[in-house]
Chains A and B, each alone.
Chain A
Amino acid sequence: TQLLEQSPQFLSIQEGENLTVYCNSSSVFSSLQWYRQEPGEGPVLLVTVVTGGEVKKLKRLTFQFGDARKDSSLHITAAQPGDTGLYLCAGAQNAGNMLTFGGGTRLMVKP
């Protein structure tokens, strides 16, 4: 079983602060996806990273895939209350395979 460890599990910060969420595994993934989930809703895809060392930016969010494709990070700059939510990383070993999800990071940004 491939495991994805996400840290931290919970994060409460003030508006304007920066934060980083980590997603680590001992397994290699062919692709890794980051999702955001609101209460009572399904996960919404934020980004997919495929190449080792790849960096993708989505406004104030920066996603990085580790060189060995075993880990990833999500960095949020100048967090806003609208960033509050559950952030999930999910890896796939091969195209078409199931996703293995991390346990999630529950972020709260206080105004």
Chain B
Amino acid sequence: NAGVMQNPRHLVRRRGQEARLRCSPMKGHSHVYWYRQLPEEGLKFMVYLQKENIIDESGMPKERFSAEFPKEGPSILRIQQVVRGDSAAYFCASSQKPGQAYYEQYFGPGTRLTVT
């Protein structure tokens, strides 16, 4: 089975541009999570999505950030009007359907966003 796929691996944007980060979950997984790792900081939860639904977006900044997981295609994390403080590694994780006693999240290789 292919693992979680993310692209691009590296993305450079100028201040004010838009960044679009893509994530394809592991085969058979229908739940996607996005995390952000700022330089010298730990991983922080951003958003949890199922197909066509946002389940928990408590970690998302209120402005400029949005996420979707359409019926077909990858999950997209979009950052509008990027600022230097958005420079970070963005990781996507996927899991099987909850409802089991526990679940496990598998991470992709990440997208390293640099805002110049």
Contacts and interface: CB of A to CB of B under 8 A. Distances in A.
Contacts of A35: 107
B85 interface: no
A95 B100 contact: yes
Contacts of B102: 30-31, 48, 50, 92, 95
B25 interface: no
B69 interface: no
Q: Could you tell me the dominant secondary structure of chain A's interface residues?
A: loop
Interface residues of A, number: 26
B110 A45 contact: no
Contact of B103 (A96, A101, A103): A96
A42 interface: yes
B91 A42 contact: yes
B105 A45 contact: yes
Interface of B: 4, 6, 31, 33, 35, 42-45, 48, 55-56, 58-59, 91, 93, 95, 98-110, 112
Interface of A: 30-31, 33, 35, 40-45, 48, 50, 88, 90, 92, 94-104
Given A40-B112, A43-B107, A96-B48, 15 more contacts: A31-B102, A35-B107, A42-B4, A42-B110, A50-B102, A88-B43, A92-B103, A95-B100, A95-B101, A96-B31, A96-B95, A97-B56, A98-B58, A98-B59, A101-B43
